[in-house]
Chains A and B, each alone.
Chain A
């Protein structure tokens, strides 16, 4: 059997990254990046490589943005199994193997994304909220001015508050805040004021409120 393609897997990460996962990396997001690199690199001649990897990428992307469907994990497994079986080049074979291994090694995390809408590393944008730590905010207002969707309420001297319905998780506020007051939250939401109040006036434990996007 002649090979139609000699693409190597050098653009892809190594297998050991799956097993030695750092806490701050999300396996689903990692797999998304693997698929994204592979689909950029694929030469396009083989259906399973070209369309299969693209399909894997689309499915994983949907999973990371809360558009996953029942059966997605089984479909991902079927796709990666078949791509691996039919692989004409190192690129498609390695991609399939990495996805396949991630699915089995981190099945909890894949399931958490798909069924419980959780990303334990707080990487996948759909599954975390952004908050301002009221004890750190100095009311400098730089975050509000940098936010492109105006999701941060507040002015000079007030503790700022993020509207997570508007927030796009772009991360600009994290980068600009001199006090490092911005936090990501999964299921557990920090206690924050409902609307901006004067710096220093928020006492912890006064009120518990249900936050948008949280379940409390």
Chain B
């Protein structure tokens, strides 16, 4: 690296050959005001705020942003002429800019405002400029354009053209008035915009803004800018693996996913998709089908590249017992084994997987695929003892250095309902477990009418399993149809399978005689709400009816089935007390995580709990607690995304679904996933929100030593 010596305002500065005067000065902590210049963009030299005098040429200022530094150069950054030119330029920009800063969303976060202070400039000497082109193209998804605040520095134009290669934003003229717009003033969505947000990121004023609500405000900015990753409890680097899918590098994509979790395939089938709810593209048309892409990557990973860098620490000689072979327990076991500990997982069920095996039906998650991921965990050195219930944690602790209680929330809750004592009722958890492990339940037989109470995904699992066991099925829930908690696909597919949904109904009683249920008496719900945790329902008088039923299934929540005999201090809801706020329980060396402490949550939440507990336990056992892995070298994605025809209009790829006739009587896989061309198209729809973090932040004048 060739260096050169120069003097800026009498301060000796060492610059790198090829740097501009502005770059050299800023690197030396000497502030030169600048506005149209941006560290990621080619200089334009248009705003004239960075003018300096070089080599004693008084009164002949040059723009520092596009003048190359030379060896022996002498630069003066302040003089009467320089000050005058800067002030005048600033006054001119302010003449057409709204005067009231406080009403702007960029207030106190605005480069223009900061420069107004630095230069003590206002626009009052100038004629006020009334602009008419500011009304063009203000209604767009995701991006608010308040062009009366635009000072036409051209950063957005350069980032769109040069850095992104999208070339949507241009300098335009309407009569004599210059403005920043699109070809033929088309709305952004019709002009080829890829909604990458780079224009918003580089705008030094409040002219370009992210639509309020698109990004969370309670997170550090670099996190909130990538909503899918921020919403994922495991913070999987979603834009990164979506990009790898686009490049056909499925093994690499899986490595990225596996950096955060050991169940990529299971999650590819059943993840609750917090990420998709965060997806920025939702506000353009529809979220990216992230879960489908994950599954596609796993199913097309021919290289298993992640294994090469998977980290295995040397044996520590410490023994850890994990109770519960669910997502949480197995995840913790996996990372603890990789941290060098000897791990045994105990589970009372005949199969490993926890709710993945005992709860989620096989038509949603093929058991062979689940078993493969469990096997991978076993291959890491985890011993899995099935059909092995643990009655007391204290006894187990005697043989182990640490114990993790990850027993989940195994006990179905039933709501108090008169007629419950008649029999013929069971919880969804009981139903699903029996169906999963025995292929049948004692109650449900072909021809029986099963009525499921509840409107969540578990209710639909229970309903659709009952359907597959030959029953005729009803679902009753409090919520109106459009407010039901279950996924929209679940509701639709259940209906296709002939399941009747009674939405907006409250249960009054189970009707019948002992040993023989006749139906569920319901009433229409006008509204309901929760007051201090208690449900308050307003019903519509006179709308009572009885839904004929033989069997009633309660899908009304689950809780942990821990009792005091287990040996842990429990709170009033039956969950282990965690005195430290972490995962350690009242017993030294015993930890708890997952649904057993949080109540029923998603698979991904259990995995995250397992990771956190593994880290804490490793630390407790004398390790570093660092379970992070780099399974793929960080690539530096190209900021140049170019154009894609009809990008904004591209609709979400829908997975193939097995026809209702073919699926409703068997446990065959329903969701057949997306095709290769769909995966290609779907990954291309990504807005690549992460690229925005490549753009540098502009330092304001007050942070410089010399200013």
Chain A residues engaging chain B, CB cutoff 8 angstroms: 1-2, 4, 36, 39-40, 42-48, 50-52, 54-55, 57-59, 62, 71, 75, 78-79, 82, 85-86, 88
Contact = CB atoms under 8 A, between A and B. Distances in A.
Contact of B44 (A45, A51, A78): A45
A88 B89 CA distance: 14
Contacts of A2: 43, 45, 66
Contacts of B96: 51
A197 B60 CA distance: 67
Contact of A48 (B44, B67, B88, B125): B88
Interface stretch (B100-108, B170-178, B207-215, B619-627): B170-178
A85 B61 contact: yes
Contact of A40 (B62, B151, B175): B175
Interface string B354-380: 000000000000000000000000000
Contact of B81 (A55, A79, A85): A85
Interface in B81-110: 81, 84-85, 88-89, 92-93, 95-96
A86 B51 contact: yes
Contacts of B48: 46-48, 86
Nearest to B59: A85
Nearest to A42: B178
A1 B52 CA distance: 12
A26 to B, nearest CB: 21
Contacts of A75: 125
A78 B46 contact: no
A86 B45 CA distance: 10
A39 B88 contact: no
A51 B92 contact: yes
Contacts of B43: 2
Question: In this complex, which of A46, A47, A54, A79 has the most chain B Cβ atoms within 10 angstroms of its Cβ?
Answer: A47
B173 A1 contact: no
Contacts of A47: 36, 46-48, 89, 92-93, 151-152
Contacts of A50: 152, 178
Nearest to A83: B88
A48 B45 contact: no
Given A1-B67, A55-B126, A86 B85 contact: yes
B278 interface: no
Interface string B122-162: 00011101000000000000000000000110100000000
Nearest to B153: A47
A44 B92 contact: no
B133 to A, nearest CB: 11
A54 B176 contact: yes
B425 interface: no
B178 A78 contact: no
Given A40-B176, A51-B92, 20 more contacts: A4-B46, A36-B176, A45-B46, A45-B152, A47-B47, A47-B48, A47-B151, A48-B88, A48-B92, A51-B96, A62-B127, A71-B125, A75-B125, A82-B84, A82-B85, A82-B88, A85-B60, A85-B61, A85-B81, A85-B85
B205 interface: no
Given A55-B92, A55-B126, A62-B127, A1 B84 contact: no
A79 B88 contact: yes
B63 interface: yes
A36 B175 CA distance: 11
A46 B89 CA distance: 10
A133 B178 CA distance: 46
Contact of B89 (A39, A48, A54, A71): A48
Contacts of A43: 171, 178
A1 B61 contact: no
A108 B129 CA distance: 28
12 contacts: A1-B45, A40-B173, A42-B178, A44-B172, A51-B95, A52-B92, A55-B127, A82-B85, A85-B61, A85-B81, A85-B85, A88-B46
Given A1-B67, A47-B89, A79-B88, A55 B60 contact: no
Nearest to B81: A85
A91 B62 CA distance: 18
A44 B171 contact: yes
Interface residues of B, number: 38
Q: Binding site of A, secondary structure by majority: helix, strand, loop or mixed?
A: helix
Interface in B23-39: 36
Contacts of B125: 71, 75
Given A75-B125, A78-B84, A44 B95 contact: no
B176 A39 contact: yes
B129 A54 contact: yes
A79 to B, nearest CB: 7
Given A1-B63, A44-B171, A46-B48, A78 B152 contact: no
Contacts of B126: 55
Which of B66, B85, B176 has the largest number of chain A CB atoms within 10 A? B176
A58 B92 contact: no
A205 B400 CA distance: 127
Nearest to A59: B127
Contacts of A82: 84-85, 88-89
Nearest to A3: B45
Contacts of A48: 48, 85, 88-89, 92
Nearest to B60: A85
Contacts of A4: 44-46
Interface string B43-74: 11111100100000001111100110000000
A47 B94 CA distance: 11
Contacts of B61: 85-86
User: Which 6 pairs across A and B sit closest by C-beta, in order of nearness?
Assistant: A44-B178, A51-B92, A58-B127, A39-B176, A46-B46, A44-B171
Interface in B151-200: 151-152, 154, 171-173, 175-176, 178-179
Interface string B495-521: 000000000000000000000000000
B362 to A, nearest CB: 64
A62 B36 CA distance: 30
A2 to B, nearest CB: 5
Contacts of B179: 44
A1 B62 contact: yes
Nearest to A56: B127
A51 B178 CA distance: 9
A44 B173 contact: yes
B95 A55 contact: yes
B89 A45 contact: no
A83 B60 CA distance: 12
Most buried by B among A2, A36, A57: A2
Contacts of B44: 4, 45
A85 to B, nearest CB: 7
A58 B95 CA distance: 12
Contacts of B46: 4, 45-47, 88
Quick one: which of B66, B152, B178 has the most chain A CB within 10 A? Answer: B178
Contacts of A39: 176
Contacts of B45: 1-2, 4, 46, 88
Contacts of A36: 176
Contacts of B60: 85
Nearest to A79: B88
Q: Which of B85, B88, B125, B175 has the most CB of A within 10 A?
A: B88
Query: Which of B46, B47, B125, B173 has the most chain A CB atoms closer than 10 A to its own CB?
Result: B46
A54 B42 CA distance: 26
A46 B152 CA distance: 8
Contacts of B88: 48, 52, 78-79, 82
Contact of B152 (A40, A44, A62): A44
Nearest to A88: B45
Contacts of A79: 88
A51 B171 contact: no
B84 A51 contact: no
A6 to B, nearest CB: 14
